[in-house]
């Protein structure tokens, strides 16, 4: 893996991102455009709705789960899954109609294109969640070539998030985009490179 990293500049996070995008493309080619469109809308709606309402579900779950971290994650995931499931059911129904009209090839071709976009969206949302909920999450993404670019593509979602989450993400994204200082010992003195 180190040979590939030297050749491409990609680290482990970048390879994971590429695999997610490739997997999403193949999956979407098989599933088709309509199902994937509804899934993407469901993912975005799921994240936005979960970000807005997870505190209410977290508070309800605190009666059974006494860990604030676990109840926060569980509340977010529960809302996210329910919203996504509703959109998937609707997408499956409409996809059936499209295939009855003999438009399957076009549905699959457009699905592959949409799969690329979905892979980027998934990686962007995952990166946002890492930055928002994992303390020092920017360390995980710091060496990545692709993560900052994908985050900049999905930055529009920031405006839909609650203000406190948005501020935390913006602060961590700034730290992620700053180059690290590299210190080395020269013959005469220590110097820092940017």
Q: How confident is the model at residue 34 (pLDDT cuts 50, 70, 90)?
A: very high
Q: What is the pTM of this model?
A: 0.59
Quick: pLDDT tens for 68-92.
Answer: 888 888 899 999 999 999 999 999 9
Per residue in 129-185, pLDDT (tens digit) is 887 777 777 777 877 888 888 887 777 766 767 777 777 777 777 777 666 554 444
pLDDT band at residue 6 using 50, 70 and 90 as cut-offs: low
What is the 8-class DSSP label of residue 185?
Answer: E
SS3 content of the chain, % helix, strand, coil (to 5): 80, 5, 20
Tokens 């961590």 sit on residue: 172
Q: How far apart are CA 113 and CA 25, in angstroms?
A: 7
pLDDT at 182: 45
CA angle 33, 23, 160 (to 5 degrees): 65
């Amino acid at each position: 893996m180190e040979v590939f990293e030297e050749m491409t500049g990609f680290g482990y996070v970048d390879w994971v991102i590429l695999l997610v995008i490739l997997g999403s493309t193949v999956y979407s080619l098989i599933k088709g455009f309509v199902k994937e469109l509804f899934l993407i809308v469901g993912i975005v709606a799921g994240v936005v709705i979960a970000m807005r309402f997870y505190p209410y579900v977290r508070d309800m779950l605190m009666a059974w789960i006494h860990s604030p971290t676990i109840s926060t994650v569980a509340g977010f995931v529960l809302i996210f899954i329910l919203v996504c499931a509703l959109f998937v059911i609707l997408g499956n129904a409409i996809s059936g109609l499209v295939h009855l009209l003999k438009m399957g090839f076009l549905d699959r071709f457009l699905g592959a294109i949409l799969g690329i976009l979905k892979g980027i969206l998934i990686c962007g949302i995952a990166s946002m969640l890492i930055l928002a909920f994992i303390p020092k999450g920017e360390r995980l993404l710091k060496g990545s070539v692709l993560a900052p670019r994908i985050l900049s593509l999905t930055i529009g979602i920031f405006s839909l998030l609650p203000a406190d989450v948005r501020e935390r993400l913006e602060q961590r994204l700034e730290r992620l985009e700053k180059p690290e200082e590299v210190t080395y010992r020269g013959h005469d003195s220590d110097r820092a490179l940017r």
